[in-house]
Structure 1
Amino acid sequence: MTERWKHRADDRTRLVQVGTTSLLLAFPVGGVFLTRAVSAMEPLVLWPGLVLSAVACAVLLSRRSYPLVVLLMTTACIMTEGFLGYLLTPLLMGPMLVAQYTVSLRPDRKATWYSAVAAAAGIALTGFITTDSSHDWIIGLVNPAAWILMVASFGSYVRVRREYAVARAEHAAQEREVETRRRVVQERMRIARELHDVVAHHLALANAQAGTAAHLARTHPDQAIAIVEKLPEVTASALRELKATVGLLRQDTDSQETAPAPGLEQLPHLVDTCSSAGLDVAVAIEGRPRPLPPGLDLTAYRIVQEALTNITKHAATPSARVRLDYTPHDLTLTITNEAGTRLAAAGFPGPSRGYGLLGMRERALSVGGTFHAGLRPEGGFEVACTLPLPSPEESTS
């Protein structure tokens, strides 16, 4: 009901202003009759006070367009009524107080207080001149001026609250925009890592298999044919993962029908795929393996996958050792290639080269882990990361 009346008021602004002003006219008219009722002297003539009150209320229709002019006119009307002998009560000063409140809502603070002091001084001067008894100076001088300053203070308070609300809304909008941009950047980085891991891994294996098959084509054609026959498996696996990744990007809402993300359970298949490309992979597991959360499981799998891909592309010797060390609080992954001194000459990427190591580092840090990659003192290259494991209570909840 409230919203409906609000919309109606917005559509009929002028009609609402006229109605409000008409209701406001009752206050100064009441002040005029109150003066006549309490006056001990000869009865006052009503019509000058009624006319001046009507004029003061009528000019309020333009208070939003010309607030200072309206304040000046209403002040003149009230001062004239004071000189005619009417008591300067809050009822009689109603139109002037409304005009002062409207001026106080403006952002120009100097104009607010200058106008308030000027209006209060004018009313105080009127009360000082028209007050006969020295005992009535509080009612005729201080009280009217205090009402004006109080209304100006209240209007300034309302203005400050509105400005604060606007500033707070703008700040909240800026924070939402910054948070949206941050999430977009994070999502782009996540998608880039996924696509890089999928494409780089399978293309590197396919390239290694094709190179090995070409090398053995003349001397060992049977082995070359066997390697070529395994190429469709690698490309089919790449297409499946790409289809799953792109399918997630095209979905408008979350779906429970998407294929599960790869994890360490697919590590034997990953080792077999690398072996078909000529990479000898040895896997060692220490500690008691336990199920991992999906995000952590995917992170561990992608790090092992990318490390083996780098060894396939860059290592001088096609061999790798993968070690998974489970502790109650951490999972440590170590992927080592003992390639000797030829590794650096083969162009194995350092910590600042390529996107593979950068992606592995970002994955490890995103789950609160640590990451290190570099040449080993005894020769070769090693990738090591430690991923924090949730407590048994958290993993079962």
Structure 2
Amino acid sequence: MATPNITHGFRALTHGPRERLSPLRVDVALAVGVTAVAVWGCYSESNPSRQALRAIAGHTVTPAPVWAYLLVAGAGLGLVWRRRRPRAVLVASLAGVLAFNALGYVGNAALVIPPIALYAVALTVPVRQSVALGAVTLLTLGTITVVSPFNSFGGSDTALCALVVVAVLGGIASANRRDYLAALRARSELVARTQEEEIRRTVDAERLRIARELHDVVAHTMSTINVQAGVASYVTSDLPPTAAEALRAIKTASKDGLRELRAILAVLRQADDPESNQPQPGLARLDTLVAGVSAAGLPTRVVSTGHPRPLAPAVDLAAYRIVQESLTNAIRHAGPATAVVRISYHRSDVRLCITDTGRGSSAVSPSAGHGLIGMRERAAAAGGSLSAGPAGNGGFEVNVLLPLEPGS
């Protein structure tokens, strides 16, 4: 079916390729890269290569000891847990950067770590909390730049403010997109499940309907056998003992079989299904069906070839129902059109061809697909086969092959 294929394609589009790196590997790579850049930047700032850079804003740059860089490294490596503990990672990054700068060392390169942690927080918390934590982060980083004797307000501080704002807005936008895609996936899966359940219900209902009608056909036949066997046994008293015993056996077996058949299959008849004493429909009532279809707006004619042969009740019923469903689908989906029902009688089977001059394959809707499933069930139950598809004239065509006797 088309619907499941579309759903699988959407899943592949939203989930991405299976070969994508795991989130943990991405976080480890990000944390290591950011830590290396931040530590190297802080080391370069604390150990300038030129003498002119050893004094900033009238203050002498003091080289940081090795243990001080562990504060920056801890703040950066904490990004490994940014998905699982985003708030804790943000607090740790702010604390590490704040401690390094509070010791009197130049650590502007480390100021990029908290905005990255802030982005991870904005992905997981509501918008108000994201904005509040962004304000706290901006206030903390602003305090560092203001209090540090090596900093003066300028373009770098403006860029830092912009970086915090981008982290908050980017996290909020990414969270909204993720929620939208999750809702879209859930909706597509719900639609697919609903369609599958609808198809199952339609097929099950059609099977129950077929079973009820077959029950009526078989029950009628067995009742006739039982009555005829009883009459024959009653009116022919001079039969040989063997023949009389055979008739009594037929009567008993048909009576028992009829009782068991009704007991087993009566559950298939719903409580609101009225018991009908009318004969089951067959091809003999096709003229009445065609007249009703023509009156409904689908001019239809019947073409019969070959010598008409009596069909078994189950086959006759299946043929009538298939023609009925085909014409009903044509009325619903073919648009302005005409239809032809061709019946060909052969030595051991009967063939049906129902064609219309409508919109062809474009007319097939989900409900029409359910009808085709039901028609195939009917044909298979009678021992035949059914195929359907676009006709050569642009319309739609249903071809059915049914044996004269079920299972033959």
Report the TM-score when normalising by structure 1.
0.51
Kept in 2: contact 1:131–1:137 (CA 8 A):
no
Q: 1:23 aligns with which of 14, 28, 33?
A: 33
2 CA distance for matches of 1:169 and 1:210? 60
AA in 2 matched with 1:176: A
Q: 2:224 aligns with which of 184, 205, 208?
A: 208
Q: How has the CA–CA distance of structure 1 residues 290 and 120 changed in structure 2, closer, same or farther, with 3 Å as cutoff?
A: farther
Q: How has the CA–CA distance of structure 1 residues 198 and 62 changed in structure 2, closer, same or farther, with 3 Å as cutoff?
A: closer
Q: How has the CA–CA distance of structure 1 residues 94 and 209 changed in structure 2, closer, same or farther, with 3 Å as cutoff?
A: same
1 CA distance for matches of 2:63 and 2:34? 18
1 CA distance for matches of 2:290 and 2:179? 65
Residue 110 of structure 1 corresponds to: 128
Q: How has the CA–CA distance of structure 1 residues 72 and 287 changed in structure 2, closer, same or farther, with 3 Å as cutoff?
A: closer
1 CA distance for matches of 2:289 and 2:83? 80
Residue 385 of structure 1 corresponds to: none
Which residues of 2 match residues 170-209 of structure 1 at below 5 A?
A: 170-209=186-225
Mind listing any 5+ residue stretches in structure 2 that lack a counterpart? 1-16, 255-260, 262-280, 292-299, 306-315, 325-336, 342-366, 373-389, 399-408
Residue 158 of structure 2 corresponds to: 142
Q: How has the CA–CA distance of structure 1 residues 283 and 191 changed in structure 2, closer, same or farther, with 3 Å as cutoff?
A: closer
Residue 395 of structure 2 corresponds to: 394
1 CA distance for matches of 2:302 and 2:32? 85
2 CA distance for matches of 1:167 and 1:284? 48
Residue 73 of structure 1 corresponds to: 92
Q: 1:152 aligns with which of 168, 171, 175?
A: 168
**For 1:309-340, what per-residue CA distance to the aligned partner results, in whole angstroms no more than 9, with x for missing partners?**
xxxxxxxxxxxxxxxxxxx72579xxxxxxxx
Structure 1 residue 45 corresponds to structure 2 residue 65: no
Residue 86 of structure 1 corresponds to: 106
2 CA distance for matches of 1:284 and 1:17? 71
AA in 1 matched with 2:134: A
Which residues of 2 match residues 128-277 of structure 1 at below 5 A?
A: 128-130=146-148, 137-212=153-228, 214-215=230-231, 218=234, 267=283
SS at match of 1:105: helix
Residue 358 of structure 1 corresponds to: none
Residue 289 of structure 1 corresponds to: 303
Kept in 2: contact 1:124–1:142 (CA 8 A):
no
Kept in 2: contact 1:128–1:141 (CA 8 A):
no
1 CA distance for matches of 2:121 and 2:99? 21
Kept in 1: contact 2:79–2:89 (CA 8 A):
yes
**For 1:162-212, what per-residue CA distance to the aligned partner results, in whole angstroms no more than 9, with x for missing partners?**
222222222222222222221111111121122222221132133135335
C-alpha RMSD over aligned residues? 5.0
2 CA distance for matches of 1:182 and 1:189? 10
Mind listing any 5+ residue stretches in structure 1 that lack a counterpart? 236-241, 243-263, 272-281, 292-296, 306-327, 333-361, 368-388
Shift of 1:112: 2.3
SS at match of 2:124: coil
SS at match of 1:289: strand
Shift of 1:390: 7.8
Shift of 1:129: 4.1
SS at match of 1:137: coil
Q: How has the CA–CA distance of structure 1 residues 105 and 5 changed in structure 2, closer, same or farther, with 3 Å as cutoff?
A: closer
Q: How has the CA–CA distance of structure 1 residues 221 and 156 changed in structure 2, closer, same or farther, with 3 Å as cutoff?
A: farther
Shift of 1:299: 6.0
**For 1:228-251, what per-residue CA distance to the aligned partner results, in whole angstroms no more than 9, with x for missing partners?**
8xx99xx9xxxxxx9xxxxxxxxx
What number of residue pairs does the alignment pair up?
A: 263
Q: How has the CA–CA distance of structure 1 residues 393 and 116 changed in structure 2, closer, same or farther, with 3 Å as cutoff?
A: closer
Kept in 2: contact 1:197–1:302 (CA 8 A):
no
SS at match of 2:153: helix
Kept in 1: contact 2:115–2:167 (CA 8 A):
yes
